[in-house]
């Protein structure tokens, strides 16, 4: 048995995986990772990236540059120009990021699914009954980012961001093993609720959810880092006009984005739970 095979089998043991990624001091470990990933000392940097490549199956072939100042610099890497073209069909809401399709469906009532058999409250996720009501009859899609994926996320269509609400919380892992075991996990974790308005006036909401080892979520249109220890304004009004495909920000590891679309939009045919998508790919289409 090769070491790689042994590693894969070890990581597939659900109980061990859950203990290793969730029973540790999650917040302290995340703070440490945030500092450690920014170390620029060449030996530390090179060893960290080498381990990241080995354990994360990291592929840097699309990266704009091949040498990095730190592990953090590698996490938030840019891609070569044209690597993520955005579908130009105005009836389409594109995937804001690379990811794996998770829970999705029609929004009827207050219950969404983080995984089959594990519901959570839309109102609790958003921290607002009024915003939850705006999405009734619409659709939602959950995108989970693996650690090795492209970490930047983009405007899924032309829109204007009107408000960002930072909700401080825990740092649970968001892998499928944890989603099966931790009720309302997305509602427990640190997250940013990004409220946008489409040209039609309808609401489009994007919720980046933090996780263990995710030190922060960077929002370019506010020039702001939102993280567990952020003590600034929690509800931030703004009027940021974004074009389809324009970069919105990045995660500093891998995590989850929940996309809440307005009434009249449905998941694109052919996409289902477990499908891997790329930023710019058609995600939801107006019926």
Our answer to whether residue 110 is catalytic in this structure is no
* DSSP SS3 for 2: coil
The bridge status of strand 217-219 relative to strand 276-277 is: unpaired
Among 135, 151, 154, 166, the one annotated catalytic: 154
Q: What are phi and psi of 198, to 5 degrees?
A: -80, 165
Residues 6+ apart with CB under 8 A from 204: 93, 156, 157, 159, 196, 197, 198, 259, 260, 261, 262
Closest CA to 150 of 19, 216, 60: 60
In total, the chain counts a number of residues equal to 287
Tokens of residue 113, six digits: 């699914």
Among 37, 48, 128, 255, the one annotated catalytic: 255
CA distances from 230 to 123, 141, 217, 261 (A): 23, 27, 11, 28
Our answer to whether residue 255 is catalytic in this structure is yes
Among 98, 104, 166, 227, the one annotated catalytic: 98
Our answer to whether residue 184 is catalytic in this structure is no
Catalytic residues: 98, 154, 255
């Amino acid at each position: 048995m090769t070491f790689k095979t042994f590693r894969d089998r070890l990581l597939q043991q659900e109980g061990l995986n859950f203990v290793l990624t969730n029973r540790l001091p999650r917040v302290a470990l995340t703070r440490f990772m945030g500092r450690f990933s920014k170390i620029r000392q060449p030996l530390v940097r090179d060893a960290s990236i080498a381990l990241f490549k080995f354990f994360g199956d990291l592929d840097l072939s699309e990266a704009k540059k091949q040498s990095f100042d730190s592990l953090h610099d590698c996490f938030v890497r840019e891609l070569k120009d044209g690597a993520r073209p955005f579908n130009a069909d105005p009836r389409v809401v594109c995937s804001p990021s690379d990811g794996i399709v998770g829970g999705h469906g029609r929004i009827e009532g207050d219950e969404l699914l983080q995984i089959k058999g594990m519901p959570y409250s839309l109102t609790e996720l958003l921290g607002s009954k009024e915003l939850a009501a705006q999405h009734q009859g619409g659709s939602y899609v959950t995108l989970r980012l693996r650690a090795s994926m492209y970490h930047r996320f983009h405007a899924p269509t032309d829109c204007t961001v009107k408000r960002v609400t930072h909700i401080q919380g825990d740092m649970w892992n968001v892998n499928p093993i944890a989603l099966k075991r931790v009720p309302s996990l997305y509602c427990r974790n640190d997250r940013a609720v990004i409220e946008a308005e489409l040209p039609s006036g309808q609401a489009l909401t994007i919720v980046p959810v933090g996780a263990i080892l995710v030190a922060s979520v960077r929002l370019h249109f506010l020039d702001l880092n939102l993280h567990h220890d952020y003590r600034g304004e929690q509800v931030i009004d703004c009027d940021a006009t974004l074009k389809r495909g324009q970069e919105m920000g990045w995660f500093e590891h891998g995590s989850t984005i929940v996309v809440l679309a307005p009434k009249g939009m449905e998941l694109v045919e052919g996409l289902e739970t477990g499908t891997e998508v790329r930023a710019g790919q058609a995600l939801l289409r107006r019926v």
